[in-house]
């Protein structure tokens, strides 16, 4: 098994060396592959006939024909398209890219690393069909997967799958960008080529090549194949050990500050405790929600409710304040989260936290990603489902300890500091 592991590690180091020797790419320098807003702006500018590329509607024509696969014969319609980014439909919802071509209203939602939001696609479709009865939502992801029911379901039901067109960076966008390079008559083609190479990192094309190399090594002999199968069988357990170790380190470091903020470790109800939930089941369901619960001791709320501070992993790591009802006992449960805050509960929360009602989301009064302390998901936030680079780094004990220390400091600034 050791030779196979050593081979895989050597490939990974070769990849790191290759990244260091990569031709200078301004998009890689800016880290655009992890910044959805910047990617959307770049795509939108290329689609705009009045964009800075100087190619008129040529790139838009390619996009309409080969990506959206819409038949638009009238070139005048394309020349007068309205291209928008972050198109606001209400105070909270913004569509990443919108194309308005004649009477057509085409919303494009881009998901690279950001989590799905409740009823997001439902809301976008509902809004768009008021402008264009034949509209669909174009859902652009790394590999072209469908949005979940969580995003497609709204107050009047769930939108049908035929109202969603799945697009991928892996095939649709990389192909379109290559074609844009091919037809470019100005030096903007060089820029598009660099952008396309950055998009390839989003889809991990190089990772596919490494996978082929590893597969070739595994089938070299029965012994290496058996070793590879053993590694595959142990992989989920190994990832769970990292997840468990991270939350255990949080519990250890929180001991030093919990008294300062009047927090008591909750041990009776064990609501989605990491010791019970950080198991391989995490990888066989949407999430097992492993976390750590603390009761805010001096927060005496209405109806016997408790104000909790909780550190949790859904896919990504975050923390926040929530309301728990220890007296509500559904079958098999000891207590229940309070999903909907009535007016009395909202006022009660405001007695103990410096938050506005607008911040409340589901059962969370307020929450923040870690270690950033913001509600914006970035590459710095560990994703234990996909095991991004931020999560992988936490396999190292020293890095894990430093990461948790940084996160705890950020929690003090952005969350615990909200306690009155």
Average pLDDT over residues 176-199: 91
- The pLDDT, as a whole number, for residue 403 is 97
* pLDDT digits 0-9 by tens, 304-318: 899 999 999 999 999
Residue with the bigger pLDDT between 357 and 7: it is 357
Decide if pLDDT at 20 tops 50: no
Give the integer Cα–Cα distance in Å for 296 and 187.
60
Indicate the SS3 state at residue 271: coil
- The pLDDT, as a whole number, for residue 18 is 47
> What pLDDT band is residue 205 in, cutting at 50, 70 and 90?
low
State the chain's mean pLDDT as an integer.
88
Residues in CB range of 246: below 8 A, 6 or more apart: 317, 382, 394, 400, 403, 404
- The pLDDT, as a whole number, for residue 300 is 87
- The pLDDT, as a whole number, for residue 14 is 59
* pLDDT digits 0-9 by tens, 93-151: 899 999 999 999 999 999 987 777 889 999 999 999 999 999 999 999 988 989 988 89
> What pLDDT band is residue 185 in, cutting at 50, 70 and 90?
confident
- Give the tokens for residue 10: 């050597």
pTM metric for this prediction: 0.63
> What pLDDT band is residue 206 in, cutting at 50, 70 and 90?
low
Nearest to 50, CA basis, from 85, 86, 87, 79: 79
Give the integer Cα–Cα distance in Å for 298 and 291.
22
Give residue limits of the domains in the chain.
2-206, 239-418
Decide if pLDDT at 15 tops 80: no
Placement of tokens 């938050």 in the chain: 355
Indicate the SS3 state at residue 293: strand
> What pLDDT band is residue 7 in, cutting at 50, 70 and 90?
low
- The pLDDT, as a whole number, for residue 122 is 94
- The pLDDT, as a whole number, for residue 202 is 73
CA distances from 266 to 22, 229, 245, 419 (A): 50, 40, 19, 18
């Amino acid at each position: 098994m050791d030779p196979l592991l050593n081979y895989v590690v050597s490939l990974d180091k070769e990849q790191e060396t290759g990244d260091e020797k990569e031709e200078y790419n301004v998009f890689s320098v800016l880290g655009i592959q992890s910044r959805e807003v910047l990617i959307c702006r770049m795509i939108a500018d290329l689609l705009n006939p009045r964009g800075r590329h100087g190619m008129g509607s040529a790139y838009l024509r390619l996009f309409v024909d080969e990506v959206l696969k819409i038949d638009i014969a009238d070139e005048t319609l394309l020349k007068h398209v309205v291209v928008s980014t972050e198109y606001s439909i209400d105070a909270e919802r913004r569509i990443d890219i919108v194309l308005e071509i004649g009477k057509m209203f085409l919303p494009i939602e881009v998901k690279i690393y950001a989590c799905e939001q409740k009823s997001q696609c439902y809301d976008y479709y509902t809004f768009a069909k008021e402008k264009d009865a034949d509209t669909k939502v174009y859902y652009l992801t790394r590999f072209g997967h469908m949005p979940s029911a969580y995003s497609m379901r709204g107050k009047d039901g769930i939108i049908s799958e035929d109202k969603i067109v799945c697009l991928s960076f892996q095939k649709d966008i990389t192909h379109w960008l290559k074609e844009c390079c091919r037809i470019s008559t100005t030096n903007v083609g060089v820029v598009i080529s660099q952008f396309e190479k950055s998009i390839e990192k989003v889809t991990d094309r190089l990772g596919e090549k490494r996978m082929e190399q590893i597969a070739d090594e595994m089938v070299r002999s029965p012994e290496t194949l058996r070793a590879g199968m053993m590694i595959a069988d142990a992989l989920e357990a190994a990832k769970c050990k990292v997840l468990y170790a991270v939350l255990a380190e949080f519990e250890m470091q929180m001991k030093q500050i919990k008294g300062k903020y009047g927090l008591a470790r909750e041990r009776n109800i064990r609501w989605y405790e990491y010791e019970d939930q950080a198991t391989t089941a995490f990888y066989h369901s949407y999430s097992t929600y492993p976390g750590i619960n603390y009761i805010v001791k001096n927060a005496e709320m209405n109806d016997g409710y408790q104000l909790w501070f909780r550190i949790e992993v859904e896919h990504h790591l975050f923390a926040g304040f929530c309301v728990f009802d220890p007296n509500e006992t559904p079958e098999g449960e000891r207590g229940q989260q309070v999903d909907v805050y009535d007016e009395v509960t909202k006022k009660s929360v405001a007695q103990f936290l410096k938050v506005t009602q607008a911040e409340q989301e589901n059962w969370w009064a307020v929450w923040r990603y870690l270690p950033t302390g913001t509600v914006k998901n970035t590459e710095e936030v560990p994703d234990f489902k996909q095991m991004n680079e931020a999560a992988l780094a936490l396999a190292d004990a020293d890095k894990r300890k430093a990461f948790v220390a940084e996160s705890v400091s950020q929690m003090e600034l952005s969350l615990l500091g909200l306690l009155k």
